[in-house]
A and B are shown apart, each in its own frame.
Chain A
């Protein structure tokens, strides 16, 4: 209360850098997952890349343009899709909003038709285009939002949580669509998502940031190798057995045991299990930990390091 009253007269401001020293390149046709916990600076970075924000320092080039100069040449070739955000007029059918976009992006009737037909086909839009946007469900609206964001056939897509709030089927459809769009047009895509299924399905490469700093940039598969120093061995035997001597038991259900072993020892331990139990073994798999687990580990370790001032 006292602080509130004081702030009426003398406000104190604290400058918090949202993003620092984040550098990366994205090639034409690449789909890159941009990962980080809430508040990591993902959306801030996307806003800078799309030209909505002026950074206090640093350099960004998108298709040869500096985004915040907002040159027509760039605005006509990029798009930013934000899940749960609408750019369509609420009260009228999406088809009419799309006509407005046709004129704004100066699309010829032929280009517009071809683009709309393609989007209608990929997103199954036909029954949705002529209903007022306010009458569409969240998933349906997201599909027409995608159409509005891509009607001008952008070459660079910034997708910020495009599947947020959607059911599993709709998420899968949007993922399929993004993948098809990338394949058909060769567009570059930078995608943030909290759903790892999106990232696993679409991105070979991921960039991980935390507290505005870059933690990892490389292959999705490499993330597990680098960030999770262990593997999981899942063994199913014909009877109950205690396998604690082979590694740390993570879970045990009926005759199936999951063991955590260090990455270096994984091959030896597996061989040893096969050697010792081959007569009783029904199944054995060796896998990386789930990507969610890896990411979670990365973030919590970064948090600890930050708290310790490392």
Chain B
């Protein structure tokens, strides 16, 4: 474990240097990350305003708190490794990684952390500004804050592992763009980006059974205080279950995929 941390530190230093050279790109990515939830927040606020300031049990201020939380969680749990993995396979860059005594997954873990560390300082003031503009109302207690930490970590790990699950299909297809488009749409629909799950109507009951909500919706609800402590603990348990399943699925697919790997482009 100590050795792994040393490896992580070395990769972190190298990747941070590389990321520092593309600051503008990071800011643009951040902008994209903010635009979508702000658009949805504006739309839900407008819709709520026409219905006496409330939809279901959520007021405009609740929507504001939810979307501020969703934006933060979305950024903290973002994972793009499937696209990177596809490129690595197609360009033959996976091969040198496979020949080192370190699982390729570890590089992505650090790259992922680097991006978040690099962009978080710019995101936080923007979120404060949005919260202030839309008068977000948080019902968060210290208990929620405490539970938010494991919940967002589990959500990040879950999104990351699902990204890797999708990525491993590239061993067979060398392309995962199509699969990722489907996956991204499912996340969009069922993870709570479009709307809090409780407002999904008939889809809500499906959404609770799917893993996507536990990537965004669950930690966001915990952060804004929209779930009771008991509900929060239940959500965390389900997150842990999905994480364990995705990890097992990944291990199996990875072993099968390696057998299939044709090391193209290398």
Q: Does A associate with B in a complex?
A: yes
**Interface positions of A (Cβ within 8 A of B):** 47, 50-54, 68, 70, 72, 75-76, 78-80, 82, 85-87, 89-92, 96-97, 99-106
Residues of chain A contacted by B263 (CB below 8 angstroms): 47, 52-53
- B13:A104 contact, CB within 8 angstroms: no
Q: How far is the CB of B63 from chain A (nearest CB, A)?
A: 41
By beta carbon, the residue of chain B nearest A78 is B99
Complex Cα gap A58–B10 (Å): 39
- B14:A105 contact, CB within 8 angstroms: no
By beta carbon, the residue of chain A nearest B260 is A54
Residue from the set A54, A70, A100, A101 with the largest chain B CB neighbour count within 10 Å: A100
Q: 8 closest pairs, A vs B, by CB?
A: A87-B96, A103-B10, A91-B18, A75-B101, A103-B7, A52-B263, A72-B101, A100-B10
Q: List 15 A-B contacts (CB under 8 A).
A: A47-B266, A52-B95, A53-B261, A53-B262, A54-B259, A54-B261, A70-B98, A91-B21, A92-B14, A96-B14, A96-B17, A100-B10, A104-B7, A104-B100, A104-B102
Complex Cα gap A70–B103 (Å): 10
Q: How far is the CB of B166 from chain A (nearest CB, A)?
A: 22
Complex Cα gap A50–B98 (Å): 10
Residues of chain A contacted by B22 (CB below 8 angstroms): 91
Complex Cα gap A100–B18 (Å): 13
**Interface positions of B (Cβ within 8 A of A):** 3, 6-7, 9-11, 13-15, 17-18, 21-22, 92-93, 95-102, 258-259, 261-263, 266
Complex Cα gap A92–B17 (Å): 7
- B13:A96 contact, CB within 8 angstroms: yes
By beta carbon, the residue of chain A nearest B13 is A96
Given A53-B261, A96-B13, A96-B17, A85 and B92 touching (CB < 8 A)? yes
- B266:A82 contact, CB within 8 angstroms: yes
Residues of chain B contacted by A90 (CB below 8 angstroms): 18
By beta carbon, the residue of chain B nearest A134 is B21
Known: A47-B266, A89-B18, A99-B10. 8 other contacts (CB 8 A): A53-B263, A54-B259, A82-B266, A89-B14, A92-B17, A99-B14, A103-B3, A104-B7
Q: How far is the CB of B97 from chain A (nearest CB, A)?
A: 8
Complex Cα gap A231–B22 (Å): 62
- B18:A50 contact, CB within 8 angstroms: no
Complex Cα gap A53–B95 (Å): 10
Residues of chain B contacted by A86 (CB below 8 angstroms): 93
Residues of chain B contacted by A47 (CB below 8 angstroms): 95, 263, 266
Residues of chain B contacted by A52 (CB below 8 angstroms): 95, 98-99, 261, 263, 266
Residue from the set A70, A80, A92 with the largest chain B CB neighbour count within 10 Å: A92
- A91:B17 contact, CB within 8 angstroms: yes
Complex Cα gap A82–B91 (Å): 13
By beta carbon, the residue of chain A nearest B11 is A100
Contact of B99 among A80, A97, A103 (CB under 8 A): A80
Residues of chain B contacted by A79 (CB below 8 angstroms): 99
Q: How far is the CB of B40 from chain A (nearest CB, A)?
A: 35
By beta carbon, the residue of chain B nearest A18 is B262
Complex Cα gap A52–B258 (Å): 8
Residues of chain A contacted by B18 (CB below 8 angstroms): 89-92
Complex Cα gap A96–B12 (Å): 11
Complex Cα gap A103–B99 (Å): 15
Contact of B14 among A54, A68, A78, A100 (CB under 8 A): A100
Given A52-B266, A54-B259, A82-B266, A102 and B95 touching (CB < 8 A)? no
Residues of chain A contacted by B14 (CB below 8 angstroms): 89, 92, 96-97, 99-100
Complex Cα gap A299–B3 (Å): 50
By beta carbon, the residue of chain A nearest B9 is A103
Q: How far is the CB of A115 from chain B (nearest CB, A)?
A: 15
Residues of chain B contacted by A91 (CB below 8 angstroms): 17-18, 21-22
By beta carbon, the residue of chain A nearest B4 is A103
- A103:B6 contact, CB within 8 angstroms: yes
Residues of chain B contacted by A76 (CB below 8 angstroms): 101
